[in-house]
Amino acid sequence: MRKRIIAWAVLPLAIGYAAAGFAGKSEELKWAEVPAHVQKTISKHMAGGEIEEIKKETRMTGGKSRTIYEAIVRTPGPGGKKIEIEVDEDGNLIELEDQ
């Protein structure tokens, strides 16, 4: 009986840690490694800027694993600001944020 209680107490913790392991994976990419439909969406929202960094992240949302591409872009000009562009694996814009 005691083993069963311990198992029920430990099981949710194990599941939580396993899910967290899948949730935050991130890797830096080169432009050529980004799918064409994602490139198109990022290019559309770059405001003539230059990509400083692009990452591919795996996130858990609604119990599903999603791949998100995040580009950090520097706009042209002397006071060029940074823009963060997030696009999902289908090429849909998720977020466009000035930093």
The full set of domains in the chain, from first to last, is 23-98 (3.10.450.360)
34-91 pLDDT per residue, tens: 999 999 999 999 989 999 999 999 988 788 889 999 999 999 888 889 999 999 999 9
Residue 77: the pLDDT is 85
Residue 64: the pLDDT is 86
Residue 38: the pLDDT is 97
What average pLDDT score do residues 11-21 get?
54
3-class state of residue 97 by DSSP = strand
Which tokens is 92 given?
Answer: 């849909």
Which tokens is 80 given?
Answer: 């060029």
